[in-house]
Amino acid sequence: MKEIRWHGRGGQGGFTASRLLGIAASVHGGKHALAFPSFGPERRGAPVLAFTKIDDSKIHDRSEVQESDYVVVMDETLITPGFEKGIRPGATILVNTENIEKYRIELKDFQVLGIDATSMAMEILGRPITNTAMYGALAAASGLVSKEAAIASIHTEMKPKLAALNEKIVERAFEAIKA
């Protein structure tokens, strides 16, 4: 089973990205998936977590992710002391940042990749909602779902106009990571 942890802030779409990944894996990828948030009555901007589990067989464990294979950080200010707790050694961490080098030093026990998801979102959406850029980056870095399945999940869940914009973001993020 592969376990993914999403770090974001309320309003950034972390749970939506987690859910999109689950849909891509299960509906469009032939696997089993669970996606769930971990937050209470937080307000917009408060730190939130979301989780996705993906496996080839049915998932019976519905508990919070304990040993992440992949971690997606939509706001780099959420990387604080103790952040690495619950991440498997050698796991992949994707960070929304303009300067990934500082995290490669700080998180040396992991494969750390960066993408400027905020700039992509601002350019295409006109708003700093980074979830689909980070989702596309994760699809590229992990191979958990294909680019086609990732895009199909967006069209499954979003209205056509919004889906078209988010498809562009996923494609650009996917290609940025692959390059």
Cα within 13 Å of Cα(161), Cβ side: 1
The domains found in the chain, sorted by start residue, are 2-178 (3.40.920.10)
Spatial contact of 4 and 66, defined as CB atoms under 8 Å apart: no
**CA-CA-CA-CA dihedral for 165, 93, 72, 163, to nearest 10:** 20
Q: What is the pLDDT of residue 90?
A: 95
The encoded tokens of residue 33 equal: 């998936």
Each residue's pLDDT expressed in tens, for the chain with a length of 179 residues:
999 999 999 889 999 999 999 999 999 999 999 999 986 666 788 899 999 999 999 999 888 888 999 999 999 999 999 999 999 999 999 999 999 999 999 999 999 999 999 999 999 999 999 999 999 999 999 999 999 999 999 999 999 999 999 999 999 999 999 98
